[in-house]
Chains A and B, each alone.
Chain A
């Protein structure tokens, strides 16, 4: 079965420091990987995706993620955190096994990022 794990419920970072939010996955075949962010009282916003190509993917708001096939990881990173980055972050993999119309996303449990001034 395909799955996504976000091992940290919460990550605390000081403003200006680099941040990493971890994600590991288990899929058959080549993964389609995504990061979404949910700000308080807001919907789910797309940050970035890995489909194929360069292992380092750049996305919105200065975020990037590194796809590592050998470690089956897709960690989200940012060189310098902002207080406004505080939000709930979800890693997801697209289910390519055929269920959900080949578009179903399997989400991790989410990681709450708290950036302190």
Chain B
């Protein structure tokens, strides 16, 4: 089944404790990205990747890191999480690096930073 998977689905952590949220897609997609969803704000892009070893900042990159060492994986790293990073996170992928018609989203990771 074609899908985008994320782990973990739920995470409670404390301020300053490094964490990684994994994202994997099995569709051989070139483009991957991370969004965060906050009430009243919709989804906002954090980082994106147009291919292996090609990553760039989205609209709200502060406090986050990413890497794209393999085509299928695009982990989101929070080196020192803070309470304002409490949010619902979605990973997405698209077949082409540019001008894809549809993006596919993962199931989401709900993060609570205490």
Contact = CB atoms under 8 A, between A and B. Distances in A.
Interface size class of A (residues with CB under 8 A): 20 to 34
A108 B58 CA distance: 17
B42 A90 contact: yes
B42 A100 contact: no
Interface in B27-43: 31, 33, 35, 40-43
Given A100-B45, A101-B97, 7 more contacts: A51-B101, A90-B43, A100-B48, A102-B98, A103-B94, A105-B103, A108-B42
Closest 6 CB pairs of A and B: A107-B42, A43-B107, A44-B105, A102-B98, A107-B43, A101-B50
Interface of B: 31, 33, 35, 40-45, 48-50, 56, 58-59, 90, 92, 94, 96-108
21 contacts: A32-B101, A43-B107, A44-B90, A46-B105, A49-B101, A49-B102, A92-B43, A100-B33, A100-B45, A101-B48, A101-B97, A101-B98, A102-B97, A102-B99, A103-B96, A104-B45, A105-B45, A107-B42, A109-B41, A109-B42, A110-B42
Interface of A: 4, 32, 34, 36, 42-46, 49, 51, 90, 92, 99-105, 107-110
